[in-house]
Amino acid sequence: MTDTAVSAPSRSVVTEIPGPNSRALLERKAKAVPQGIPHQLPVFIESAHDAIITDVDGNRFIDLGCGIGVTTVGHTNDAVVAAVREQVGKLTHSLFGTTPYEPYVRVAEYLAKHTPGDHEKKTFFVNSGSEAVENGVKVARRHTGRRAVAVVEHGYHGRTNLTMTMNYKPAPYATGMGPLASDIFHAPGSYPLQDGLNGAEAAERTQYYLEKHVGVTDLSCLVIEPIQGEGGFIVPAEGYLAAMQEWCTEHGVVMIADEVQSGICRTGTTFASEQLGWVPDMVLSAKGIAGGMPLAGVTGRAEIMDSVHVGGIGGTFGGNPVSCAAAVAVFEQIEADDLNGEAKRIERVLRPLLDALAEEHPEIIEVRGRGAMLAIEFIDPSSGAPIPTAPIAQAAGLDGVLVLTAGTDYNVLRFLPSLAITDDQLREAVEVIGRAIASTKTA
């Protein structure tokens, strides 16, 4: 990068937010784009590199969101940009199901190698996380010949008809947009802060629900995020996931890890299920897999994946060659550069800073998560009511830090920085967030 503005290491707010150029674009957006597509920060982005995004008025923000954990290797990661540039001049599309190309197979091989377990695996590609979930469910149903699909409370799986039915929260994702899909069951999961159960107890509760309310002989799959994303970075109690996998295996149920947000070196292992002691039957990846390009993978036990007849899965754009080339560049860095070590470094720096914030602000009742996927939850200590975090995120945004909210009760701040973020940028960002918390209390 030769442009010093985009490679500069610190935030810099040089206009009011939004600045005049963003203001003009916001007016155009309001006329041309439906209100259902919101924006958290009222600025338009011109460019970005590593952990810094620059808006059309020249303001620089420290990005703790990564487009929801997508640009994990850094915005405009040099190797990803080079791979995309090279591939785009060679082949942009051919439809893998008619005339295949190598990068698709290469990424499938990387996923077989890097997802948990050393059993034989196969992968096919689609365009989004939602589509990966849809296809995982389709394959599980075909494999088992069963109709029911189970998920756990506080989960998030997407915005298509099937996946919006699978979400724990109907609002805002499905409000007024039914009829929803049938045969979806929301079982209690493991949320240690709220339920106080250990892994074995929580698993027993989930199993009881599935046995009594669904019926295992009708259950095709159980889909779980190893660390829940939109739910607020909820890490299940130790042993919960392994106990559920054991139960699923015993009953012929396909257990699917929705690693769309937690995967690709986000948590300090390439997939979060690995460090939580879980070897899933199927692993879904998307968000971070192609360094900012759209791509999603469905990886599973070979015998499960091969249960689908010829032509039963696929799609026009799935596994686009440019996206696959970008994903190859991501996996090359995973193998060469210890990206999991970077996620652990971020946790080493960020967690104590968040612990200190929690000490200063008693309404922060928990600091949780793993690696570069950490969150703080806000509860009013006197009333026990959740404190919405949107005003804090808003105040931080005006001060040059982009941080995302999460949580079923909208009372979580989540930190999903790029692995390229520096220690100094993390410190600066948390300082800004501390000020934002204080300012919303006095406001």
Q: Which positions touch ligand PLP (CB under 6 A)?
A: 128-130, 133, 156-158, 225, 229, 258, 260-261, 286-287
C-alpha distances out from residue 39 to 26, 34, 45, 58, 67, Å = 10, 11, 12, 19, 12
Other CB atoms within a 10 A radius of the CB of residue 2 amount to 5
| Closer Cβ to ligand PLP, 416 or 430, answer by number | 416
| Closer Cβ to ligand PLP, 103 or 158, answer by number | 158
Overall size of the chain counted in residues: 443
Considering the complex, what minimum distance in angstroms separates the CB of residue 423 from ligand PLP? 27
How far apart (Å, rounded) are the C-alpha atoms in residues 344 and 374? 11
User: Is cis: bond before 172, omega within 30 of 0?
Assistant: yes
| Closer Cβ to ligand PLP, 37 or 336, answer by number | 37
| Closer Cβ to ligand PLP, 286 or 429, answer by number | 286
| Closer Cβ to ligand PLP, 130 or 440, answer by number | 130
- Phi, psi of 372, deg, nearest 5: -95, 30
Considering the complex, what minimum distance in angstroms separates the CB of residue 320 from ligand PLP? 14
Considering the complex, what minimum distance in angstroms separates the CB of residue 126 from ligand PLP? 10
The answer to whether the beta carbons of residues 78 and 420 sit under 8 Å apart is: no
Strand-pair category, 52-55 with 60-63: antiparallel
Considering the complex, what minimum distance in angstroms separates the CB of residue 162 from ligand PLP? 11
Other CB atoms within a 10 A radius of the CB of residue 336 amount to 9
Considering the complex, what minimum distance in angstroms separates the CB of residue 287 from ligand PLP? 6
| Closer Cβ to ligand PLP, 156 or 331, answer by number | 156
The sheet with strand 60-63 has its strands ordered as: 45-49, 52-55, 60-63, 401-402
| Closer Cβ to ligand PLP, 108 or 404, answer by number | 404
Considering the complex, what minimum distance in angstroms separates the CB of residue 404 from ligand PLP? 11
| Closer Cβ to ligand PLP, 144 or 163, answer by number | 163
Residue 188 in 3-state DSSP? coil
Considering the complex, what minimum distance in angstroms separates the CB of residue 18 from ligand PLP? 25
The C-alpha angle with vertex 254 and arms to 279 and 189, in degrees rounded to 5, equals: 75
| Closer Cβ to ligand PLP, 18 or 232, answer by number | 232
Q: Which residues contact 328 (CB under 8 A, 6 or more apart)?
A: 83, 103, 106, 107, 110
Considering the complex, what minimum distance in angstroms separates the CB of residue 401 from ligand PLP? 22
Distance of CA 145 to the CA centre of its chain: 30
User: Is cis: bond before 417, omega within 30 of 0?
Assistant: no
Considering the complex, what minimum distance in angstroms separates the CB of residue 82 from ligand PLP? 25
First to last CA, the chain: 41
How far apart (Å, rounded) are the C-alpha atoms in residues 211 and 225? 21
Helix, strand, coil fractions of the chain, as percent rounded to 5: 40, 20, 40
